[in-house]
Amino acid sequence: MVRLSAGRIDIRVRLTPKSSADRIEGVAAASDGSAHLAARVRAVPEKGAANAALERLVADWLGVPGRTVSVTGGATSRIKTVSVAGDATLLSKRVEERLVGG
């Protein structure tokens, strides 16, 4: 679900647009058994609105500046790769803490 690279982490996310609230729901499993972060946003999937909402949501969730978060894969798919620039080890620990602590 989280892959560490030099200067960033990549998070596999399943996004559900047109939800009643913007929220991270936690870890879920895909039909192939692979793990991903489940997220919901109120934005509609048109003209990048849902992707932009996801970037803001992940930034707020991790407590990082919005400019460090970007959808780098799956722009038109529900399964996306979200990259967060910064210290990969620190960011990975922060993801783990947020998932354990809520």
| Domain count within the chain | 1
Residue 82 main-chain phi, psi, to 5 deg: -110, 120
Q: Model confidence over 28-47: pLDDT tens digits?
A: 998 899 999 999 999 999 99
| Alpha-carbon span 89 to 6, nearest angstrom | 10
Q: Model confidence over 63-97: pLDDT tens digits?
A: 999 999 999 999 999 999 999 999 999 999 999 99
CATH number of the domain that residue 85 is part of: 3.30.1200.10
Higher confidence at residue 102 or residue 14? 14
Q: Per DSSP, what are the bridge partners of residue 47?
A: none
Tell me the pTM: 0.95
Domain housing 59: 2-101
Across the chain, the runs of DSSP E, i.e. the strands, are 2-5, 8-16, 23-29, 35-40, 69-73, 79-85
